[in-house]
Structure 1
Amino acid sequence: MSCDDVRPCISAGPGAAYDPATGVITAHLSTDAGNTLVVGGDDGLFVPAAADATVTTGCGLGGDGSVGAPLTVATGTWPYACSADTSGGVVVCGSDGVLRSEPRGKASFVSYFEERMYPNLTVPNGFDQPGASFSTDVTNPDPCRDALLIVWREVDVDFNLPAGAGAGYGQDTDEMYYTRNAGSSLNTDVHVQTTKTFHNANLLGPGATVNIPLDVTFDRGTGGATYNRIQINIRVLMISL
C-alpha cells in the first residue's frame, strides 16, 4: 500500500486537510468568528492566552479571564462578629439569568375597630365575668418569610354609677380598670380606655392567617352599676426580616 492510498484516509475526518498535489497533510483551521487557534512559530497548533484577547468586565466582576487572573466575583469584607458560613444570606441566579439576593424584609400594620351599644346592662359581681367577645383575622402579606406579630388590644367601657356603686372591666383574666362613685349623685358614661400589648406566641407563616381574639370581662359590679357601650381596637404590627 502506498502513501497515496493512506493519506486520504488520514484526512477524511474533521480537523485535517490533504493536498493530493503535494501530498501534504495539514491542520484544518476553522474560519468561524472568534476562533483563535493558529499555527505557532514552531509549526505547532497554538491557542493565545486569554490575556492576549480583550476582555471587558462590568460591575461585580474582577480579573481579566487569563490563567493568572481568572474572572472572579468582586466581594466585600464580612464586617460582623458572626460567621458568614452560618449567618450569611444567599445569592441565586433567577430564571432571567440575573443574580438575586434574598427577599426584602416587610413590615405591615392592620387595625380593627368595633363598637357595641347596650341598654344599661348590670355589671356582674365577682371577677372575670363574661362580657363580650371580639376577634379579627390577620394575614401575613409576605409570600416568603414568617412574620412576628406585635398586638395592641384596646378596650373602653362606659359605666353608669349610682352613688356608692363600683365597677371594673378587664381583658380575659386581667382586670384593667376599676372605678367607684364616692359621691352622692349618679355618674353617667364613666369610661377610661386601656391598652394591653403582647406578641403572638407563634410566628405567622408566609401568607398564613391567624385569628386574634379579645374577650372583655367584668368584675366587682356593686350598687346598681350598669354599662351601655363597649369599644375595642385590635392593632397588629407584622414584621418579617
Structure 2
Amino acid sequence: MTVSGSGSPANPFVISSEIPCADVRGCLSAGPGITFNTGTGQISAHLSAQAGNNVVVAPDGGLMVPTAGGQVLTGCGLTGNGSASSPVKANTQAWPYACGVDAAAGGVYCDTQGRLRSDPRGMVSFTNYSESRSYNDIAVPATQNTVLDTFSVNVTNPDPCRSAQVYTEREIDVWMVLPAGAGGGTGQAADEMFYMRNTGTGSVVGVHAQGTKFLPESFTLGPGATAPVSLSATAGRGSGGAYYYSIVFNIRAMIISL
C-alpha cells in the first residue's frame, strides 16, 4: 500500500493498493457447473461427460446445445437422427396412384391421447323393410297405373362422420282374383310390370307377380341423417270383375358412405 500527496486541498492524500492474483485465488472455489483452475485462476463452465449430453462451447465462447445433437432415436414411422443433415421426419413412401396426392389423399390426425389417426373408415350397411297388407276385395281400377297404396319407411345413415348414398331394391306383389274373362295389371308407380287376362271358364285365384326394381335414391343422406323412402303399388286395366285382396311390400336399402 502506498500513500502520496501532502494532504492540502491542492494536493490531497491518495492511497493506492494492489493485491496479487495469487493472494486472491485461495478465496475462490468451484461450485455446481463451474470449473476453477487454481493454477491459472481461470473460471469456466463444467461440461458433463455423461452420455447424451449435447452442451458444447461454441466458437464464439458461449454455451450451445446443437439441435437434437444427432442423438434422437426413432421408431416405427419416423426416420432421421435430429441433426441438420438428417432431420426427424415421417417415414413416407411413394404415392402409387394415378390421381394427384394433393387432390385425392386423405388426412392424418392426432387424437386426444396423442396417437396418429387416419380418415374415418367407410361404412356399408344393409337393411330390409317389409309389410303385408290385406284388403276387402277391392276392384282393380280401369285406369292404368292407379295408385292402390303406398308403403313408406325411414332410412337412417349409421355413419356419424360421412354422407351416404342410398340404393334400394323395391318389390311389390299385388294378389288378384280374375273371374272368367277378367283382366288386370299391376306395377310400381308409373310402370305397369305385370298384366294377365283370364281366358278360361272359371275364376283364377291368387294371381300375382313379384315386380322388382333396383334404384339409386335421388338424395344423399348426411352423417346420422334420416329420410323417408316410399313405394307405391299401382294397378290398372281392370275388367270383368277383377279385384285384389293383398299387397306385399319390400324395400331393401344399401347405405354406402366412403
Q: Taking structure 2 as the reference length, what is the TM-score of the superposition?
A: 0.78
Which aligned pairs between 1:1-241 and structure 2 lie closer than 5 A?
24-27=42-45, 35-39=53-57, 45=63, 47=65, 50=68, 53=71, 55-241=72-258
Distance 1:58 1:149 in 2: 43
Distance 2:97 2:223 in 1: 28
- Work out which of the two has the higher radius of gyration on C-alpha atoms and give 1 or 2: 2
Q: How far is 1:69 from its partner?
A: 1.1
Q: How far is 1:40 from its partner?
A: 7.6
Q: How far is 1:56 from its partner?
A: 2.1
Q: Taking structure 1 as the reference length, what is the TM-score of the superposition?
A: 0.83
Q: How far is 1:50 from its partner?
A: 4.7
Spell out structure 1 runs of 4+ moving beyond 2 A: 15-19, 21-36, 38-53
Is the Cα contact below 8 Å between 2:70 and 2:81 reproduced in 1? no
Is the Cα contact below 8 Å between 1:105 and 1:240 reproduced in 2? yes
Distance 1:180 1:87 in 2: 57
Distance 1:194 1:46 in 2: 82
Q: How many residues align?
A: 228
Distance 1:3 1:29 in 2: 34
Distance 1:62 1:3 in 2: 61
Letter aligned with residue 174 of structure 1: D
Letter aligned with residue 227 of structure 1: Y
Q: How far is 1:47 from its partner?
A: 4.3
Q: 1:109 to 1:3 in 2, by over 3 A?
A: farther
Letter aligned with residue 55 of structure 2: L
RMSD: 3.1
Q: Where in structure 1 are there 5+ consecutive unaligned residues?
A: 5-14
Q: Where in structure 2 are there 5+ consecutive unaligned residues?
A: 1-16, 20-31
Q: 1:62 to 1:17 in 2, by over 3 A?
A: closer
Is the Cα contact below 8 Å between 1:91 and 1:102 reproduced in 2? yes
Letter aligned with residue 167 of structure 1: G
Letter aligned with residue 37 of structure 1: V
- 2:23 matched residue in structure 1: none
Q: 1:119 to 1:43 in 2, by over 3 A?
A: closer
